[in-house]
Amino acid sequence: MVDSSAGGKMSAHGGGGGRTRVGRYELGRTLGEGTFAKVKFARNVETGENVAIKILDKDKVLKHKMIAQIKREISTMKLIRHPNVIRMYEVMASRTKIYIVMELVTGGELFDKIASRGRLKEDDARKYFQQLINAVDYCHSRGVYHRDLKPENLLLDANGTLKVSDFGLSALSQQVREDGLLHTTCGTPNYVAPEVINNKGYDGAKADLWSCGVILFVLMAGYLPFEDSNLMALYKKIYKADFSCPSWFSTSAKKLIKKILDPNPNTRITIAEVINNEWFKKGYQPPRFETAEVNLDDINSIFNESGDPAQLVVERREERPAVMNAFELISTSQGLNLGTLFEKQTDSVKRETRFASRLPANEILSKIEAAAGPMGFNVQKRNYKVPIILADKKTITACFHFT
């Protein structure tokens, strides 16, 4: 999840501190953190574009035997280029980490909109449902089945456009067995199709559509169609499609939802039929986008320790110079020093040495005192001016300006 403030200033820019760079990206503050990964705000220094980077620890991935899952998630995101799906730009790897560079989405979760407002108006719910179906239909056309569709995995961008995210439980068409079905039971109980729970194999496209139907119900009702604190009781309701639509649903919306939430996958409506449904088609605008050819050959190299070291990136920290205002910058050039306009002229030659430091003022002065003392100098500190009295009673004054 990426919150709405993510598009602001990067924390790495504050206070004149250092910047962490990975490849062409400058990392900022952490947007989210899980057991195996964290997501950071980042900026492409070449284009200025803001992105989100998911950072995974290779050791943790290997230790928990998650290589296959991570490869599948990366492959899935690489295959999909759709305006209603989170975009993955590129994947990089260092010796210890994997970096997944993704589109930055700043509008929060659709779930938050429901939680704060309650149910949505039917027209608003239809708009989000249309975008969801567009995304899911495209995923299926690319051989990708999400398997964990729910409002928490649906994000909104700054313009309110829906973006499907989190393909961690997705399946690819290569995982379909000889019977033409998927066999891994996964998903969130309240949104999962009855045939998935049955553990006898299921069609990934039909199971995803069931979850879409539950989401549509939640958007319009403000609560779940299947709910029970006892998991087995919940499953019984799902098996029987034991639910009822509230009175404020329009008749055509009720009919469509009941066709989607048909417990028999063989008679359940298809996505093509949903798109041709009269209720769905109201105000519908098909998405416009270009389909690009995608090569997945480089996915294995991310985990290949014997791969080409030249292809690995290095996470490095770059120190930023101390911040100086315009007058301080000008005064560093002897030819442009404006001090003579404001200081009383004397016959003495004024020699200056300037340096910048990020250490605290007291620490700098203490170090000067410690260095001058053993050399026979008498050091006196007054308001950040340090007169150093030499053996011949001449005085060198060090004057410090702290910003």
State pLDDT tens for residues 37-95.
889 999 999 999 999 999 988 888 888 777 777 887 787 777 788 899 988 888 888 88
At 189, which amino acid appears? P
Per-residue pLDDT tens digits for 117-159:
889 999 999 999 999 999 999 989 888 888 889 998 899 999 9
pLDDT at 205 over 80: yes
At 268, which amino acid appears? R
Give the ranges where 270-345 is alpha helix by DSSP (H): 271-275, 278-281, 326-331
User: Whole-angstrom Cα distance, residue 403 to residue 396?
Assistant: 23
| φ/ψ of residue 10, rounded to 5 | -75, 140
Q: Which pTM does this prediction carry? A: 0.68
- Catalytic site includes residue 148: yes
Per-residue pLDDT tens digits for 160-198:
999 998 876 555 555 556 555 565 666 688 999 999 888
pLDDT at 269 over 70: yes
Q: In this predicted structure, which of 82-96, 187-201, 329-343, 373-387 has the lowest mean pLDDT? A: 329-343
DSSP-assigned letters across all residues of 143-161: TEE-S---GGGEEE-TT--
Structural domains in the chain plus CATH codes: 4-105 (3.30.200.20), 110-289 (1.10.510.10), 326-399 (3.30.310.80)
Q: In this predicted structure, which of 18-32, 248-262, 283-297 has the lowest mean pLDDT? A: 283-297
Choosing from 137, 148, 203, 262, the catalytic residue is: 148
In sequence order, what are the beta bridge partners of 38? Answer: 33, 55
pLDDT at 114: 86
Is 54 known as a binding-site position? yes
DSSP, collapsed to helix, strand or coil, labels residue 379 as strand
Quick one: what percent of the chain has pLDDT higher than 90? Answer: 35
- Mean per-residue pLDDT, 379-384: 63
pLDDT at 303: 64
Average predicted confidence (pLDDT) for the chain: 78
pLDDT at 2: 43
Instruction: Give the Cβ contact number of residue 303 at 10 Å.
Output: 15
